[in-house]
Amino acid sequence: MKILVVDDDQHILDALLVGFQLQWQDATVIAAGDGEAGLRCFDEHSPDIVVLDVAMPGRNGFEVLQEIRRVSDVPVIMLTARGEEMDQVRGLELGADDYVVKPFSHLALLARIKAVLRRAEMPPPVRALPDFVAGDLAVNFQNHQVTLRGQTVKLTPVEYKLLYHLVRNAGRLMPHQALLDRVWGDEYGATTDYLKVFVSRLRAKIEPREGPRYIETERGLGYRFVRPGSAEC
């Protein structure tokens, strides 16, 4: 397991290196002190997960995240300052899987990393036929493959898990709290705003630009996956 940590605070890097060595000996921590170094380490080491600080000199965390997302769906956890809610939302909108607020303990970060990695685990492909079809959208649950008009849709682990629970309950209203519990779990304390960001990300990938087609919003209540009456040409 390779963990890339990108942060310009040497104290944080040192603390994480020591903390992970004590608590997770199978993990290799790769440290980078700025965005450019982080991208070089990413290309060289192909880490299994990236922990990325937002506020850094030169290329900030958002810019590094955008570069990573151009080539990879590797899980990314952003480190944000306390109270910087807009940074958290922006990171999620750009493709981050989670965020941790500074200051934090290495044990808390380790727990988040393991939780994100659990969500990212995918079983090997077993069957070719999709388990769920709605119009032009098809989902194969066993290999986590999603296609739209025959083209593979690249989803992050959280986006896939959200889609999974929506389509598994197609036609039924999924309350906000039910989705939060099933996708993130009780320990995260995720909010409806958090959920809204990921629904928006998912819609951008599976729905046409002219408007919602698969995911309906019940304002103040939750979301419902709706099968279209017929596929559009």
Instruction: Confirm whether 213 is domain-assigned.
Output: yes
pLDDT at 7 over 80: yes
| Domains of the chain: total | 2
Q: Among candidates 171, 12, 191, 163, which has minimal Cα distance to 85?
A: 191
Across the chain, mean pLDDT equals 84
CATH number at residue 149: 1.10.10.10
Residue 151: other Cβ atoms inside 10 A: 9
Instruction: Confirm whether 232 is domain-assigned.
Output: no
17, 166, 188 from 217: Cα distances, Å? 43, 12, 23
Q: Are 7 and 104 in the same domain?
A: yes
Instruction: Confirm whether 41 is domain-assigned.
Output: yes
- Per-residue pLDDT, 126: 43
CATH number at residue 8: 3.40.50.2300
Q: At what angle do helices 176-183 and 192-206 cross, to 10 degrees?
A: 80
0.85 exceeded by the pTM? no
pLDDT at 233 over 50: no
Of 87, 120, 153, the position where a domain reaches its end is: 120
Domain that holds residue 212: 132-225
Instruction: Confirm whether 206 is domain-assigned.
Output: yes
* Mean predicted confidence (pLDDT) in 165-184: 90
Q: Are 55 and 77 in the same domain?
A: yes
Say which residue, 92 or 122, is predicted with more confidence: 92
- pLDDT tens string 25-41: 788 889 999 999 999 99
Instruction: Confirm whether 127 is domain-assigned.
Output: no
Say which residue, 154 or 82, is predicted with more confidence: 154
Of 120, 154, 184, the position where a domain reaches its end is: 120
pLDDT at 116 over 90: no
Q: At what angle do helices 106-120 and 157-168 cross, to 10 degrees?
A: 50
- Per-residue pLDDT, 229: 61
Instruction: Confirm whether 31 is domain-assigned.
Output: yes
- pLDDT tens string 131-142: 788 888 999 887
